[in-house]
Amino acid sequence: MRGFYSRKIHSLLGVIPLGGFFLEHMLTNFSAVEGGPSGFNDSVLWLNSLPLVFFLELFGIWLPLLYHGVFGLYIAYQSKPNLNRYNLERNWRYTLQRVTGIITFIFVVWHVFETRFQVALGNVKHEELGGVMHDIVTQPLLLAFYTIGIISASFHFANGLWSFLISWGVTVGPRAQKVSSFLCLGLFVLVTFMFLISLVTFRDSEFQSAAAIAQTLKAMI
């Protein structure tokens, strides 16, 4: 009984709220493409001006992320991949779901440490996050790490949505599961593209100047 509910909650949290936040994050980042540093800052500040933002973050992101991440690692540990025996598309996705889950876990811990955690410590202000991202993605190694992290997270999200639909009994027949495969694959491509385009935008020198201004302001104070 415990296993059934804990797995159901894991599956649900992956989509609501984490999937929702993932898409929201994608849009916030994309405002950097659309509106440059000021557009990005406006989006960040809008998000942080939401009422009860602490509780929204706690129950909408931190706790679900902790549960989904830790329980997900346990699920990955329990699997015994057999691609050598069954070199099939669905079996590849099963295995990649677990592999990308682990990569995403590491990536998210790293990313949160560099950004939100530094804000919480008071080392960085919300308005300076664009500059922080600029400093990160102008380093080739970190850019590669972020690219891998984004592709992993996007795949894990899109393919997770596909298996969520099965686990909750929405897509039952083989045809429904095939159509949802294509839709989720499309979503994976779209989300990956949106995140990567934002990532490249952060390399722009406009964000550097934003970072530099923030630095000088900090130095002056």
Residues that bind other proteins (CB under 8 A): 1-4, 6-8, 75, 77-82, 84-86, 88, 90-91, 94-95, 97, 162-163, 166-174, 177
Nearer to other proteins, 63 or 83 (CB): 83
Q: In 3-state terms, what secondary structure has residue 157?
A: helix
Question: Burial of 128 by CB count in 10 Å (0-12 exposed, 13-18 middle, 19+ buried)?
Answer: buried
Q: Which of 17, 19, 25 is nearest to 55 (CA)?
A: 17
SS3 42: helix
- Pick 2 or 49: Cβ nearer other proteins: 2
Closest approach of other proteins to the CB of residue 35, in Å: 40
User: CB 17 → other proteins: shortest distance, Å?
Assistant: 19
* Smallest distance from other proteins to CB 149, Å: 23
Residue closer to other proteins by CB (options 36, 81) is 81
Of the pair 149, 160, the CB lying nearest other proteins is at 160
Amino acid at 183: L
Length of the chain as a residue count: 221
Minimum distance from residue 4 beta carbon to other proteins (Å): 4
Side-chain-facing half-sphere of 162: CA atoms under 13 Å: 23
